[in-house]
Amino acid sequence: MGATLTLGRLAGIRIGVHWSVLVIFALIAVGLAAGRLPDAHPDRPGWLYAVVGVATAVVFLLSLLAHEMSHAIIARRNGVGGDEITLWLLGGAARLKSEAPSPAAELRIAGIGPLVSLALGVVFGLLTVLFGQVYGSGLLVEALAWLAVINVLLALFNALPAAPLDGGRLLRALVWWRTGNRLRATEVATGAGRALGWLLIAAGVFLAFAGAAVDGLWLMLIGWFMTAMASAEGSQAKMRELLGSVPVRRAMTPDPTTVPAATTIREFLSGPPWVYRHSAFPVIDAVGRPMGLISVNRAGQVPVPERERTTVGAVVLPLDDLPTAHPDDRLIDLLPSVETSPARRALVMAEDRLVGIVTQSDINRLVNWLTSASPADGNRVQPQG
């Protein structure tokens, strides 16, 4: 689930939001400001309901962020790196760079999220009681009570044993521990996720025909997201299994065509050996060291009158903004960086020397080969280094 908008970084982790967050934010803010708050405490100014509704929705999103940050922190402590959190319709997703090393680590990483949400529910519940005793009933107490209930419900919902929910990760850890087969455990968890998703869709259709159209559409939307996410997670797990021991050198294009940084944009766009061969090329400096990447689209953004005097080195996508790898690194560890890179490519380096380039197409081509070469009984062909 990719981020639509990046908000910034927290503890070195990129925080992003998916467009579906706007749906849940609007539903919460409008539902509180136009429904629950005026029903519970009528005759207050309309702007006050709106302010409390929006503020409550913001605090709820911060609660989701705390839930996901707990996953990322515990993952780091268990040797699993994470560099991005994306908030979305059902809560959020922390992108981890590798698999949990053991079922116990998977259990710790998955279990912390519902525990944090439950703890937040308890804290908001205590604040509800405290402010209620001090100030009596009011909009603030009503908002705190709603936050207490919604965080407890979030903990319970996320504990359901179905991927991509945290409960699905707990189920995966259990099956992995019992069978010793991580891929089988993932298939069980994602299968449960798809089943729950279709169940929610069916329930939504029933409610829609029963007259509760809004509730029905809401359930169908959640079910659709769950089904799609579970299917995507299952596909990613199979790819991780397939590429688990494949080195980067198996997928890379060795000794790629390079562009000297002093080349003008006009020369790059019109002259061989670059024309028509590829859509992006590594850029090297005067002594042959890689500087970054230049794409046809990036070069084409330079105005025509300036192409004669503008060099490729002036508009290069810097090396620091590109994923890099060693030829002997595991391809599966590089895959997330390639998928999220603006260039959809990675440069392969041996010390300071450029030895290859890996594109998303290269990886897909290798996956197709390995999938086709796999025996019918499901055993993987052992990749050669």
Cα–Cα distance measured from residue 314 to residue 217, given in angstroms and rounded to the nearest whole number:
51
Helix (H, G, I), strand (E, B) or coil at 111: helix
- The residue among 131, 343, 355 whose CA lies nearest residue 258 is 355
For residue 33, what are the CA distances in angstroms to 42, 115, 165, 197, 359? 11, 29, 29, 30, 49
**CB neighbour list of residue 363: distance below 8 Å, 6 or more residues apart:** 243, 251, 331, 335, 338
**DSSP of 245-264:** T-BGGGTSEES---EETT-B
Cα–Cα distance measured from residue 19 to residue 3, given in angstroms and rounded to the nearest whole number:
8
Structure tokens at 12: 């070195």
CA 379 to chain centre: 29
| Residue in 68, 84, 142, 233 annotated catalytic | 68
CA 312 to chain centre: 33
Cα–Cα distance measured from residue 311 to residue 340, given in angstroms and rounded to the nearest whole number:
27
Residue 68 catalytic? yes
Given a contact cutoff of 8 angstroms between Cβ atoms, the answer to whether 283 and 258 are in contact is yes
Cα–Cα distance measured from residue 278 to residue 293, given in angstroms and rounded to the nearest whole number:
12
- Helix, strand and coil content of the chain, in percent to the nearest 5, comes to 60, 15, 25
Cα–Cα distance measured from residue 187 to residue 230, given in angstroms and rounded to the nearest whole number:
9
**273-278-279-280 Cα dihedral, nearest 10 degrees:** -70
CA 148 to chain centre: 27
Cα–Cα distance measured from residue 146 to residue 106, given in angstroms and rounded to the nearest whole number:
31
Q: What are the catalytic residues? A: 68
